[in-house]
Amino acid sequence: MFVRKYYKRYKKISTAPKIKDDNVFDVVKNLLSLPWILGGTKDFLLSIKETYEDKGVLTQKQIDAVRIIETKNADQTIEKYNDWINDYDEHKREIAEICAHYYKSNPPYFADLSDKILNDADFVPSERQYISMCENKFASKVVEATKAEPKYEVGMIVKGRKNSPAAVENQLFSIIKVNAAPVRSAAKGAKLYELLPFGKTQTVFCEERHIRKTRKSEA
């Protein structure tokens, strides 16, 4: 009984005034129709839509939050998006997928956008989303590392550099595969190789910067 009275006394009761605003409800529906609205933003708008459909009112804070999302998307119309789709060629799609793999391995940035790009072949990010995700300094390094010509070829014998990760440091390897997985580091020499350690049957993955050619005395 004491516990019940305690929580009843201290229960937080919302005193925010409720507002009926059909215009905001229309804004929410329009925002939800935009194909580039994803993740947490979409979940929030869906919750607002459900609340308004159920109760017919919103708080001022909820309305203000919707207006902020509306403002952020004011310059992104369906017409502009359709024009952008025509410019979103295979090259841009490839770049987007390279960057999506990188951000998938380095959360939390662009998590929802990366998932959509990698799992929906028909999805096209908005131009703003593409620029934000694919044309920053980190993404540029990832794309550069991915596109760079590999220093080593399949079948070559290489050695783990000093101070490289413990799994490869000072060990000899045969290269099994070049570009073995998407680049996961925004660094020069981040291209990934699949390597087979001498005397072992389990391969390892290693970035190009952590290996070097062997000397004659080491081969």
Chain segment 206-215, per-residue pLDDT in tens: 999 999 999 8
Beta bridge pairs of residue 183? none
pLDDT of the residue at 19: 85
pLDDT higher than threshold 50 for residue 6: no
Instruction: Look at residue 4 in the predicted model and tell me its pLDDT.
Output: 46
Q: For residue 187, is pLDDT > 60?
A: yes
Buried b (16+ CB within 10 A) or exposed e, 185-207: bbeeebbbbbbbbeeeeebbebb
Residue 16 has pLDDT above 80, yes or no: no
Please report which confidence band the pLDDT of residue 11 belongs to, taking 50, 70 and 90 as the band edges: very low
pLDDT at 15: 62
Q: What is the pLDDT of residues 140-176, one digit of tens each?
A: 999 999 999 999 999 999 999 999 999 999 999 999 9
Residues whose CB falls within 8 Å of the CB of residue 133, separated by 6 or more in sequence, listed in order: 96, 99, 100, 103, 110, 113, 114, 125, 139
Rg (Cα) of the chain, in Å, rounded? Answer: 26
The reply to whether the predicted model has a pTM over 0.85 is no
- The yes-or-no verdict on residue 106 having pLDDT over 90 is yes
Q: Residue 89 and residue 77: Cα distance in Å, rounded?
A: 20
Question: Are 171 and 198 spatial neighbours (Cβ–Cβ below 8 Å)?
Answer: yes
Tell me how crowded residue 150 is: count the other CB atoms within 10 A of its CB: 13
Please tell me whether the peptide bond between 108 and the residue prior to it is cis, using omega within 30 degrees of 0: yes
Whether residue 43 has pLDDT greater than 70: yes
- Residue of higher predicted confidence among 8 and 25: 25
Q: Judge whether residue 104 has pLDDT over 60.
A: yes
Q: Helical H runs in 12-160?
A: 22-32, 39-55, 60-72, 78-87, 90-105, 111-119, 127-134, 137-147
Interval 170-188 mean pLDDT: 97
